[in-house]
Amino acid sequence: MESFLQAVKVVPLNHYILLSAIIFSIGVVGVLIRRNAIVVFMSVELMLNAVNLLLTVFSVYSNDPNGQVFVFFIMALAAAEIAIGLAIIVMIHRNTNSIDVDILNRLKW
């Protein structure tokens, strides 16, 4: 465990912040541009993983394990989101034969 913590500290903190910002930006662009519900879910997962990376790195650099514990809660939330979201997408696909998020406007009629 100590070798992992030392390996994380070899890379400067700014590089982790830049990598997380890039991953989060890719996720935001995916949510805003793509119309496929599966791709939107994957983009949300990218955003959550970018936050997880930052929480873990800040936790290691500050020698406080609270960030790593919080990452487990986020991972549990993401797993629940995917399970429920995929069930909803399967039902939408059965009813509309498409997973385009624009078709979801039909659900209000």
**How far is it, in rounded angstroms, from Cα 109 to Cα 91?**
17
pLDDT digits (tens, 9 = 90+) for 48-99: 999 999 999 999 999 888 988 999 999 998 899 889 989 988 988 898 888 8
pLDDT of residue 103: 78
Q: Whole-angstrom Cα distance, residue 79 to residue 56? A: 18
Least Cα distance to 41 among 94, 101, 98, 97 occurs for 101
